[in-house]
Structure 1
Amino acid sequence: MTELPFFVYGTLLPGEHNHDRFLKGRTSEERPAVLPDALLYEGPGYPYATGGDGTVRGALVTAAPGAYPELLALLDGLEQYLGPGHPRNLYERVARPALPSSPDSALTGPAGPVRAWVYLAAPAIVRSLAAGGTRIPTGDWLTRRPPPARRTP
């Protein structure tokens, strides 16, 4: 199997609750990126990405040397991915082009597309989302809630 980077867009992002649990110490690089031709939806505490006419913001994550098999197994387990087209999949792991970006740029930096694994909602979830899911219009999981209140000294 080709060792592709992973495009993450939800609870695996830096500062989110699964980042340190699954990625800390297992990555050599994490950089902002966008996933074109995708939509983002609210889920039960985590998001779902689907194909569509938008852009999802996230990060490209590269496994540390020697950590790829462990990271792949951990992420497949977290995302309830049992294999291509398995009827009990929560997500499908698919290879898609992601675009490295800069937080300050509109969409992409000078680098071109990078083929990466991304976990997209499985077909049954996609049907449910199409029937009544709540889309995150910004395509950015981190903008779904207001920023924490600032404390004044």
Structure 2
Amino acid sequence: MRGTEPEELPFFVYGTLRPGEVNHHLFLRGRTAAEEPARLPDAALYEGPGYPYAVDRPGSAIAGELITPAPGAYGELLAALDLLEEYEGPGSPGNIYDRSARQALRPDGTAVRAWVYLAAPPLARRLADSGTEIPGGDWLRRG
């Protein structure tokens, strides 16, 4: 890691940033070097207002893609995604999502460390109490 800059990791996306979804076209088109299917272990997916929330859940997994930013696009993409996900920085009380480094799994089982936006703790608690879980953890296959 360089100074206070976050480590340049790929992103694990699981909702509207997935290929074919609205925010993929708005935020990722032309800014990626690679996009590949992956799963995020120990997480569950909940419905949100037009987009999903991922939360920590041991023993569950969610479907998504690993997005590798194009050379030279990392800083701009990170800033755009932090803004989209309403992430203001580590531990900020204004966060809707927290950006965390987690192990995602490629289809062959290879683990890849990636940034993922998880519901911030107060929201995660509300979802666990009264949220609607997306069966199978796949936003693209929701009912």
TM bin (shorter chain): over 0.9
Q: Residue 3 of structure 2 corresponds to which residue in structure 1?
A: none
Distance in 2 of aligned mates of 1:96 and 1:132: 25
Larger Rg computed on CA atoms: 1
% identical aligned pairs? 64
Distance in 1 of aligned mates of 2:114 and 2:61: 15
Q: Quick check: 2:86–2:95 contact (8 Å CA) kept in 1?
A: yes
Task: Tell me which of 48, 55, 59 is aligned to 2:61.
Answer: 55
More helix by share: 2
**Equivalent residues in 2 for 1:1-153 (5 A)?**
1-52=6-57, 53-101=59-107, 109=108, 112-145=110-143
Distance in 2 of aligned mates of 1:99 and 1:130: 24
Q: Residue 151 of structure 1 corresponds to which residue in structure 2?
A: none
1:88-113 deviations in Å (ceiling 9; x for gaps): 10000000000012xxxxxxx1x510
Q: Structure 2: which 5+ runs fail to align? A: 1-5
Q: Quick check: 2:38–2:63 contact (8 Å CA) kept in 1?
A: yes
Q: CA deviation at 1:48?
A: 0.3
More strand by share: 2
1:69-93 deviations in Å (ceiling 9; x for gaps): 0000000000000001100100000
The number of residues matched between the two structures is 137
1:10-32 deviations in Å (ceiling 9; x for gaps): 00001111001000011000000
**Structure 1 segments of 4+ aligned residues over 6 angstroms from their partners:** none
